[in-house]
Structure 1
C-alpha cells in the first residue's frame, strides 16, 4: 500500500474511533507508519488528509450500500438486505459518526461529502420504495421520501442505541421492527 493510502486509511480509522479533534497528525503518522515529512508531502495538513479520508469513507459506504440496493430481487428484498447486512454495530456507522463531530460539521469542506452521501442513500432508498409501491409490495399512498428517511434514521438510531447499551440487540430490534412494518400488508388507501 502506498504512503498516501496508508495515511488515508489511518485517518479513516482514527476519525471513526476518535473524531476529528482526537485525531492528531502524530497519531495518524504512527498508525500509518509514516513520517511527518511524508504526511505533509502528500497532504496540506490535517484538514486535507481528513477530507481525503472522509471522501474515501463516503465512497465505501456508497459502494457497499449500492451493491445491495442494486442487486437482483424485489424492492423489499433489497431493502431488507441493506438493513440486515453485516455491520460492526458497536463501532457505529463511520459516516453517521462524522455527523456527531462538531469540527467536521462546522465547515462545508468536511461536512459536504457526509451530507451528500446521506442524501444519496435516502434518494436511492426512496427510489426502491417507489419501485415497491409500483409493484404492489408496499401500500399505495405512502411517501417514498418519508419511508427512506425512516430507514436511514432507524439504522443510524439503531447504532446509537446499540452503543449506549453495549449490545447489538437494540440495533437488531430496531431493524426487526422496521422490517415488520415494511412487510405488513396495509389495506389500499
Structure 2
C-alpha cells in the first residue's frame, strides 16, 4: 500500500473508533506510518483526508448492503437478510455514528457521504418494498419510503442500543423486532 492508501485506511479506522473530533492528523500519520510531509502532499488537511476516508467507507457500506439487497429471492427475504447481516454492533455503524458528530455534520462536504449513503439505502429499500408490492408479496397499502426509513432506523437504533448496553444482543433484538414488523406486511 502506498502512503496515500495507508493514510486513508488509517483515517477510516480512527474515525470509526474515535470520531472526527478524536481523530488527529498526527494519530492518522502514526497509524499509517507516514510523515507529515506525506500527508500534506496527498491532502490539504484533516477535512480533506476525512472526506476521502468517509467516501471510501460509504462506498464499502453501500457495497455490503447491495451484496444482500441485490441478491435473488423475494423482497421480504432480502430485507430480512439485510437486517440480520452480521455487524459488529458494539463498534457502531461505520457511517451512521458520524451523524451524531456535531463537527462533522456542520461541514456539508464531510456530511455528504453520510447523507448520501442513507439516502441511497432508503431508496434501495423502498425499491425492494415496491417490487414486493408489484409481485403481490407485500400489502399494497404501505408506503415504501416509510418502510425503508423504518428499516434503516431500526438498524441505526440497534447500534445505539447495543453500544449503550455494551451487548451485541441489544442490536440483535432490535433487528429481530424489525424483521417481525416487516414480515407483518405480507399480502
User: Partners in 1 of 2:185 and 2:13 — Cα distance?
Assistant: 42
Q: Which residue of 1 aligns with 2:123?
A: 123
Q: Which residue of 2 aligns with 1:34?
A: 34
Task: Look up the SS of the partner of 2:20 in the other structure.
Answer: coil
Task: Look up the SS of the partner of 1:115 in the other structure.
Answer: helix
Task: Look up the SS of the partner of 1:99 in the other structure.
Answer: helix
User: Partners in 1 of 2:179 and 2:85 — Cα distance?
Assistant: 13
User: Partners in 1 of 2:117 and 2:184 — Cα distance?
Assistant: 29
Quote the offset at 1:185 in angstroms: 5.8
User: Partners in 2 of 1:21 and 1:92 — Cα distance?
Assistant: 16
Given that 1:138 and 1:182 are in contact with CA atoms closer than 8 Å, whether structure 2 keeps it comes out as: no
Q: Which residue of 2 aligns with 1:178?
A: 178
Matching of residues 103-114 of structure 1 within 5 Å: 103-114=103-114
Regions of 4+ moved over 6 Å: none
TM-score computed with the length of structure 2 as normaliser: 0.97
Q: Which residue of 1 aligns with 2:94?
A: 94
Task: Look up the SS of the partner of 1:64 in the other structure.
Answer: helix
CA change 1:10–1:185 in 2 (3 A) is closer
Given that 1:89 and 1:168 are in contact with CA atoms closer than 8 Å, whether structure 2 keeps it comes out as: yes
Quote the offset at 1:97 in angstroms: 0.6
Query: What's the CA shift string for 1:24-75, capped at 9, x where partnerless?
Result: 1110001111111111111111111000001001010111111111111111
Quote the offset at 1:168 in angstroms: 1.1
Quote the offset at 1:4 in angstroms: 0.6
Q: Which residue of 2 aligns with 1:158?
A: 158
**What is the aligned length?**
187
Q: Which residue of 2 aligns with 1:66?
A: 66
CA change 1:97–1:168 in 2 (3 A) is same
User: Partners in 2 of 1:23 and 1:99 — Cα distance?
Assistant: 16
Given that 1:54 and 1:113 are in contact with CA atoms closer than 8 Å, whether structure 2 keeps it comes out as: yes
User: Tell me, which stretches of 5 or more residues in structure 1 are unaligned?
Assistant: none
**TM-align CA RMSD:** 1.1
Given that 1:158 and 1:174 are in contact with CA atoms closer than 8 Å, whether structure 2 keeps it comes out as: yes
Q: Which residue of 2 aligns with 1:134?
A: 134
Q: Which residue of 2 aligns with 1:50?
A: 50
